[in-house]
Structure 1
Amino acid sequence: METVKTVVAPANGGIPNHPRWPALLEADACPGGESQLRDVFADNGWGGMWTWSVFDYHHYHPASHEVLGVAAGHAELHLGGPDGEIVKISKGDVLVLPAGFGHKLLSASEDFRVVGAYPPGQERPDILRAFDCGLDEVLKSIAAVPRPASDPAQGRDGPLAQHWN
């Protein structure tokens, strides 16, 4: 059974995070691996897909939301900057990050891989590290990013519609 955990974090350590919307961890939302993740994300309008890992430093995307679907393995991520929460993710989990929300890989199994994707029009995200830009400038960019039309894993009526209002 799929469950959703929300993660909120105020700006900290040079990471702005999103001022209104939480990160969403949808446990076991797509257990079928890379092919299922790619198909489901595409069916729900998310594109610009790639398969890899997660950077091992705090970073964020100031002008795009991002989904990370775990295709294989397991990992611990630090969400929301240095004072944020540490979460464990594993195959089938889907993590939806609003624009500005910090994330960093702490540890992972050797086979850990994620499929990343973005809403329409946001497929080429900028990647910023802590303190790359002034907070006021970045918050304006984050505020201008529209809410996606659908949750990448569960469509129009998924958790994103419930938690990002």
Structure 2
Amino acid sequence: MKRQIHKYYIKENGVFPNNEKLQVLHYRNMINVPLLFAATAVKKLFRQNGWGNNWRAGIFTYDHYHSNTHEAMAVIKGKTTVLLGGKGGRKLEIEKGDVLIIPAGVAHKNLGKENDVVCIGGYPDALEYDMNYGAEDERPKTDRTISKVKPPATDPVFGKEKGLVDFWRDPAA
């Protein structure tokens, strides 16, 4: 399969803030996942590009988002469909070798089973993420938090070379 980069704006929907300024980036077939020590290899790639606080797990089967940081997920095993933006949002098929970069505020959930995929996740500057679920009392506080999150200086796959550093240019810069 050919390597491709897809970009999607996910608009606010009344429940989830999502992010109309920064695109979700879907890097298809971007990582050559090794047969042995795949998690270690991807964590190393993310960390050398400034994306730490790494985890290895499936993707939750309920809508959630992070208001204080962006998130990257690399699929090292399996495939599934992810829903971005909550009810009526965009469905994406993701599979081994794909990387999904989700801007702060964008709701996401696995439409399959949590462990249909195994992912390595990470956050710019190894930030500790918060968890939000679309509850009425989250907003407008989370909206204010999201507005303060800057685009990261590096891409989890490409570092300072390309990827989100090109797509997510800071409009204030």
Taking structure 2 as the reference length, what is the TM-score of the superposition?
0.88
Q: Could you tell me which residue of structure 2 aligns to residue 25 of structure 1?
A: 26
**Percent identity over paired residues:** 30
Q: Aligned pair 1:113/2:118, yes or no?
A: yes
Q: Could you tell me which residue of structure 1 aligns to residue 146 of structure 2?
A: 142
Q: 1:108 to 1:3 in 2, by over 3 A?
A: farther
Q: Could you tell me which residue of structure 2 aligns to residue 60 of structure 1?
A: 65
Give the drift of 1:111: 5.3
- Which amino acid is the alignment partner of residue 78 of structure 1? L
- Which amino acid is the alignment partner of residue 5 of structure 2? V
Contact 2:16 2:107 in 1 (8 A): yes
Task: List alignment gaps of at least 5 residues for structure 2.
Answer: none
Matches for 1:7-156 after TM superposition, within 5 Å: 7-32=8-33, 33-108=38-113, 112-120=117-125, 122=127, 124-156=128-160
Give the drift of 1:24: 0.3
Q: 1:157 to 1:57 in 2, by over 3 A?
A: same
RMSD of the TM alignment (CA)? 1.7
Q: SS in structure 1 opposite 2:22?
A: coil
Aligned length: 164
Give the drift of 1:83: 1.9
Aligned counterparts of 2:66 and 2:137: Cα–Cα separation in 1? 12
Q: SS in structure 2 opposite 1:39?
A: helix
- Which amino acid is the alignment partner of residue 59 of structure 1? H
Give the drift of 1:157: 2.1
- Which amino acid is the alignment partner of residue 64 of structure 1? T
Greater RCO, CA 8 A, separation 6+: 1
Taking structure 1 as the reference length, what is the TM-score of the superposition?
0.92
Q: 1:15 to 1:111 in 2, by over 3 A?
A: closer
Aligned counterparts of 1:109 and 1:62: Cα–Cα separation in 2? 22
Aligned counterparts of 2:40 and 2:105: Cα–Cα separation in 1? 28
Contact 2:8 2:25 in 1 (8 A): yes
Aligned counterparts of 2:103 and 2:115: Cα–Cα separation in 1? 27
Aligned counterparts of 1:58 and 1:164: Cα–Cα separation in 2? 24
